[in-house]
Structure 1
């Protein structure tokens, strides 16, 4: 994913965000969140009328998000790019483009689940319609300032990411999230910093600890006895206490710190809890989330005992 800072614009300019992407990838969701953040939004706007829409009297410098895709009348990517380049030369406008992407297999799953027709499928198979739309939109994707791939995103995760990109911070403190997860069950798609705790001895292979979790004291005691825990934990803590103020100074609204182990039930959970407390002691107020805490403990997930 490629991103630019969408907040770095001149206050004297009207801020325009063009939102496009593959059908079913999440454009409507993105526009809804942007509208909730106080922007004016228009979806499926006829591109040929864009210059007329932006011919506003001087002094009106609101934020405006305009959604369009392959269903929009007059949608020709090359002409749209030329038009936006022309608009970007105006001193009274700050124009950027957001492209919402998604893998073909995930789009097929979404369409099959909702039973909605794909706009470019018509009387041909769904996968062919998705492929045709991707080819049509590829120039827009290459040219866009920001690209978000929603293949691994839930609706809530996409909403969170859009808020991170476009929410005005004012004087609100930076939001810090500390989470745990299991690598065997997939990487967290929105993590800014990921730490792999699989170098620690795995409590899963201790019979009396297997059904417990990193929230239970015996598991914590077992992990703390590992010779690698104390030194590595302190080094990570010092790194975070160095980085978090720097992120805050750069205007980052959200920071997600994720700790992973194999199954996401023992080592990552304990480390996340301990690190959250260490951050609280340093003046931060992190939220703690354990993605796989309720997952079943199985030898197949944990792999071979070492």
Structure 2
């Protein structure tokens, strides 16, 4: 299993980091006691629960000082069990943290009537020193905006952020309405319709006979080429904006022939560039999803 422990100074961006790992497919838990981190990781190894194979845990100043001092021992124990463990620590300078707390008007976890904000920040630096010293990667967020911070987090994530954009290709029928989750909708009702061919009516766009029939029309090939070109040009721009999920919906009248065929062809064409790709045929699978391409069902 993969375990990422995310820690850092309050206001330095730990919540953003956890959200970024969640978008990368990690099961994320904030403020899990260190003793339970070890217990949960051990149990996951023993039971092989796939849900927790990639786990990101937030640890901060809310943990007890005694437990934080024991952090290096907890880390050694995890790694001795064969758990691939990585520690990410986020920091920022005092002036930046003071400014951020002033902007958000949030209360620092260590501040109180006897401890002003600046002293609370300095106490936290000392408190979290055992974690900071054990970090595999440290990000200083003092001069980073939100977009730059996300990029930095992705750069040091296992895999370097590869595959951060999950692409869903969905076919649907306009008779049943446009899918609300779609980011892009392509209307292909202008294309020749296999529905009017008696031998093809009961089939779908995943059947070879329907594919061969559609493929002989230049306008079908041109539509496929144009949609593919559009996606190949613009999807990288969405990746740059840290989009975790993008749904491309292609619709025909009934959602069983033309749209299904085009989604299948696009999945083949884009599969080598974007992983994972989720293929969903709304009308013929009644809402079921299929990951990857494992042959016809």
Taking structure 1 as the reference length, the TM-score comes to: 0.49
Question: Which residues of 2 match residues 1-306 of structure 1 at below 5 A?
Answer: 14-54=1-41, 55-56=43-44, 57-60=46-49, 62-72=53-63, 76-91=67-82, 93-123=83-113, 124-166=115-157, 167-169=160-162
**CA distance in structure 1 between the partners assigned to 2:76 and 2:24 by the alignment:** 26
Distance 1:158 1:129, change over 3 A: same
Q: 5+ residue gaps in structure 1?
A: 1-13, 173-252, 255-306
**CA distance in structure 2 between the partners assigned to 1:45 and 1:69 by the alignment:** 9
Which one has a bigger Cα radius of gyration? 2
Secondary structure (helix, strand or coil) at the match of 1:76 reads helix
Distance 1:127 1:169, change over 3 A: same
Instruction: Confirm or deny: 8 A CA contact 2:108 2:117 kept in the other structure.
Output: yes
**CA distance in structure 2 between the partners assigned to 1:67 and 1:170 by the alignment:** 23
What count of residue pairs does the alignment treat as equivalent? Answer: 160
**CA distance in structure 1 between the partners assigned to 2:27 and 2:143 by the alignment:** 28
**CA distance in structure 1 between the partners assigned to 2:57 and 2:66 by the alignment:** 13
Instruction: Confirm or deny: 8 A CA contact 1:120 1:133 kept in the other structure.
Output: yes
CA RMSD of aligned residues (A): 2.3
**CA distance in structure 2 between the partners assigned to 1:121 and 1:171 by the alignment:** 37
The alpha-carbon deviation at position 121 of structure 1 amounts to 1.5
**CA distance in structure 2 between the partners assigned to 1:138 and 1:25 by the alignment:** 15
Q: 5+ residue gaps in structure 2?
A: 166-238, 241-297
Secondary structure (helix, strand or coil) at the match of 1:96 reads strand
Instruction: Confirm or deny: 8 A CA contact 2:12 2:141 kept in the other structure.
Output: yes
Distance 1:85 1:112, change over 3 A: same
Taking structure 2 as the reference length, the TM-score comes to: 0.50
